[in-house]
Amino acid sequence: MSMSPPRPVFLSLLQIRLPIAGLVSVGHRVSGVLMVLGTPLLIWMLARSLSGPVGFAAVRALFAGPVAHILLLLGLWALLHHLLAGVRYLLIDMQVGVDKPAYRTSARTVIVAAPLLALLLLGVLS
């Protein structure tokens, strides 16, 4: 019989420290879910805005408040993080950036670039 350490009984998700590539992976999944859940809202807003001048004004009024700007920022982050992480995974599948320093650098790039680009686009859009 082998003497292996006992398995943990309780795992606290707040105490688990993921490597940077794991954080990008979790962010990729979260951003995908956010985009899927946000699609019906976007379709509704598009249909409402195309229904006529009153519908367009109603949708435009939705974007006037600070909550809308936060949701827009979150949506832009989700789209950009998912895009950048997807390109990163595509390159890794083609054996580009597989070694340790390169995959850490690409993970850091995704984590930093997605929110910065979202803030830049939100500044341009508002």
For residue range 79-111, list pLDDT tens digits in order.
999 999 999 999 999 999 889 899 999 999 999
Q: What is the DSSP code string of 59-86?
A: HHHHTTSHHHHHHHHHHHHHHHHHHHHH
Q: How confident is the model at residue 12 (pLDDT cuts 50, 70, 90)?
A: confident
**Could you tell me the pTM of the whole model?**
0.83
Helix (H) or strand (E) run with residue 56 in it: helix 53-62
